[in-house]
Copies of this chain bind each other. A is one copy, B any other.
């Protein structure tokens, strides 16, 4: 037996208090951040053991294919059409809305207002009071946009006449849809049902949609994610901030904009000049095209849908067709417009979280000074958000490169196994809407996805036949 050593160096795994006690005595300690997987819940640990054990090779092969699809698809904007003409399965008085399926009685205030505005813009009601009666009476069908290969941002609800961006991914054979951006200001997607908000919907239908149809027809297909990648290198996360990609697109389309007929040209120019968010729905449609291709892979533990309606929050895995739904989370790390605070905030809302599944939004935070402002103010805060995604993601983007990380790619492919094991859920950069007054956007911040639906999805995957 040897004598006790004179000096020890310690590696402490887990609870940091032991390390601190040793450091206080002058002992060198290397602390390892380790936690009990899945918070120590034995049933969940058992499910994880299957997915990391017997099923590991199946799941990992599937995940590799999902990552490949998310990383290599090249969705193109091929056309601008209308919901009625382009989106499969829409008939009659139907609104496509954000998030999981929901009955009007459960719809949150901002989304109700958006639905009323859409009903009036469609001409089904002459004012918002009549629209409210139609909606409450069940005279308008409500359909999740996600059920129709579509994604809509924030508190969006769009009717059959609304213009849509038609996006095609040739390699995957998928087609996806998103509305034309309503822009900032007094707008329905921010939960407003004022005359101006309704007028904006009519402008999109009567002017912007036809103008964009003409532009895309003349300019030809647009490689959306090529522009998005340039945007990432210029400080966009492509979710909270889309300024650089929008500006690139405006310059790209300038010749076609100049050739628009006079009745469209001036209004479109003013609309685009005032809309730094224009690219958002393009990025969302592209992300949806990628995830639609990815979700055709069986047995994968990677999340391919993530969406919220202000009441519930739902996800879906590539490997299992069901939605897993829980309560919509609040938005934290928020900056509010003057006069507003957390008590005024509606829960997290919109389909835009699809961006976080393909390496944009939160995963791209480290490249975005504008997003950093919402995450604590320093670029280190933004890096932490990206690195949190890296811990729960299965792959790294080869196209979205982060200059402040010396061109490392953004994390892609949120793996539900890692989410549940580490207890780290996706952080979604997003706007904040007023919960009741119809004031519209009152700030922006970060929503942390609720763990419950990830655990449910993990359970469904591990216990599938």
Using CB atoms and an 8 Å cutoff, list the residues of chain A in contact with chain B.
233-235, 243-244, 246-248, 250-255, 257-260, 265-266, 268-270, 272-273, 276, 369, 372, 378-380, 403-404, 406-407
- B244/A369 in contact, CB under 8 A: no
Chain B residues, CB < 8 A from A404 = 379, 403-404
User: Which of B265, B269, B273, B407 is in CB contact (< 8 Å) with A369?
Assistant: B407
Q: A368's closest neighbor in chain B, by CB?
A: B403
- A269/B247 in contact, CB under 8 A: no
Q: A382's closest neighbor in chain B, by CB?
A: B403
Q: List 8 A-B contacts (CB under 8 A).
A: A234-B234, A244-B244, A247-B248, A251-B276, A255-B273, A257-B257, A258-B258, A258-B269
When chains A and B are docked, how far (Å) is the Cα of A260 from the Cα of B258?
Answer: 9
- B258/A403 in contact, CB under 8 A: no
User: Which of B251, B260, B378 is in CB contact (< 8 Å) with A250?
Assistant: B251
Task: Report the 5 A-B pairs with minimum CB-CB distance, sorted nearest first.
Answer: A258-B269, A247-B247, A369-B403, A254-B273, A234-B234
Give the number of copies in the complex: 2
Closest CB-CB distance, A220 to chain B, in whole Å? 14
Q: A235's closest neighbor in chain B, by CB?
A: B234
Closest CB-CB distance, A119 to chain B, in whole Å? 32
A interface SS class = helix
Evaluate whether A233 and B369 lie within 8 angstroms (CB atoms) in the complex, with A246-B251, A250-B251, A378-B406 already known. yes
- B235/A233 in contact, CB under 8 A: yes
- B250/A269 in contact, CB under 8 A: no
User: Which of B235, B251, B260, B270 is in CB contact (< 8 Å) with A273?
Assistant: B251
Chain B residues, CB < 8 A from A252 = 273
Evaluate whether A235 and B403 lie within 8 angstroms (CB atoms) in the complex, with A244-B244, A246-B251, A273-B255 already known. yes
Closest CB-CB distance, A227 to chain B, in whole Å? 11
Q: A252's closest neighbor in chain B, by CB?
A: B273
When chains A and B are docked, how far (Å) is the Cα of A243 from the Cα of B259?
Answer: 23
When chains A and B are docked, how far (Å) is the Cα of A265 from the Cα of B379?
Answer: 41
Chain B residues, CB < 8 A from A403 = 235, 369, 372, 379, 404
Closest CB-CB distance, A269 to chain B, in whole Å? 3
Chain B residues, CB < 8 A from A380 = 406
Chain B residues, CB < 8 A from A258 = 257-258, 260, 265-266, 268-270
Chain B residues, CB < 8 A from A244 = 234, 244, 247
Q: A253's closest neighbor in chain B, by CB?
A: B273
- B266/A259 in contact, CB under 8 A: yes
When chains A and B are docked, how far (Å) is the Cα of A234 from the Cα of B380?
Answer: 18
Given pairs A254-B270, A255-B266, 13 additional interface contacts (CB within 8 A) = A244-B247, A247-B248, A250-B250, A255-B273, A257-B257, A257-B258, A258-B258, A258-B260, A258-B265, A258-B268, A378-B406, A379-B404, A379-B406
Candidate in A251, A260, A272, A380 with the most chain B CB atoms within 10 angstroms: A251
- A269/B248 in contact, CB under 8 A: no
- A255/B234 in contact, CB under 8 A: no
When chains A and B are docked, how far (Å) is the Cα of A337 from the Cα of B251?
Answer: 25
Chain B residues, CB < 8 A from A260 = 258
Closest CB-CB distance, A280 to chain B, in whole Å? 15
When chains A and B are docked, how far (Å) is the Cα of A407 from the Cα of B254?
Answer: 32
Closest CB-CB distance, A417 to chain B, in whole Å? 33
Chain B residues, CB < 8 A from A378 = 406-407
Closest CB-CB distance, A156 to chain B, in whole Å? 24
Q: A231's closest neighbor in chain B, by CB?
A: B234
Closest CB-CB distance, A382 to chain B, in whole Å? 9
Chain B residues, CB < 8 A from A257 = 254, 257-258, 269
When chains A and B are docked, how far (Å) is the Cα of A266 from the Cα of B248?
Answer: 18
When chains A and B are docked, how far (Å) is the Cα of A268 from the Cα of B254?
Answer: 9
Closest CB-CB distance, A422 to chain B, in whole Å? 28
Closest CB-CB distance, A257 to chain B, in whole Å? 7
User: Which of B233, B247, B266, B407 is in CB contact (< 8 Å) with A251?
Assistant: B247
Q: A367's closest neighbor in chain B, by CB?
A: B403
Q: A275's closest neighbor in chain B, by CB?
A: B251
